[in-house]
C-alpha cells in the first residue's frame, strides 16, 4: 500500500467528482492538480479513459509538476484544498 503524493484530474470531470476529489485531497493533505486535458485526450495517450490519477512516486511527481507548468504557464492549475 503506497500513499498518493499527488492527485491529477482532467478538466471535464463532473462538478460532483471534482468536489469529492478536492474534499479527499484536503482531508488527506494531498495536492490536487487540474490537468489541462480531457478524458478523451488522456484515452488517446494511454488507451484508457481516465479522469483521476494518483501518483505515488516522488520523482514522477516532480517531473509531472515541471511538465504541467510548461504546458500552461498562464493558467492556474493547482487547486489545493489543504
Instruction: Return the pLDDT at 6.
Output: 97
Residue 81 pLDDT exceeds 50: no
Closest CA to 8 of 60, 74, 73: 60
Q: Which has more confidence, 44 or 1?
A: 44
Q: Is residue 44 part of a domain?
A: yes
Phi and psi at 66, nearest 5°, equal -65, -45
Q: What is the pTM of this model?
A: 0.79
Pairing relationship of beta strands 31-35 and 52-55 according to DSSP bridges: unpaired
Residue 11, domain CATH: 3.30.1330.30
pLDDT at 71: 75
Domain count, the chain: 1
Where in the sequence is the domain holding 61, given as residue range(s)?
Answer: 6-71
Has residue 81 been placed in a domain?
no
Determine, yes or no, domain membership for 24: yes
Q: Does 80 fall in a domain?
A: no
- Residue 69: band (very low, low, confident or very high) from pLDDT cuts 50, 70, 90: confident
Determine the distance from the C-alpha atom of residue 65 to the mean position of all C-alpha atoms in its chain, rounded to a whole number. Answer: 10
Name residue, grid cell 516522488. Answer: 58
User: What are the tens digits of pLDDT across the range 2-56?
Assistant: 799 999 999 999 999 999 999 999 999 999 999 999 999 999 999 999 999 999 9
CA distance 44 to 56: 23
Amino acid at each position: 500500500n503506497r500513499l498518493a503524493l499527488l492527485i491529477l484530474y482532467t478538466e471535464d470531470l463532473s462538478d460532483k467528482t471534482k468536489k469529492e476529489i478536492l474534499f479527499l485531497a484536503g482531508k488527506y493533505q494531498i495536492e490536487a492538480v487540474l490537468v489541462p486535458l480531457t478524458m478523451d485526450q488522456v484515452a488517446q495517450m494511454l488507451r484508457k479513459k481516465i479522469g483521476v490519477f494518483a501518483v505515488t512516486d516522488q520523482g514522477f511527481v516532480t517531473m509531472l509538476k515541471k511538465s504541467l507548468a510548461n504546458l500552461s504557464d498562464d493558467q492556474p492549475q493547482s487547486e489545493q484544498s489543504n
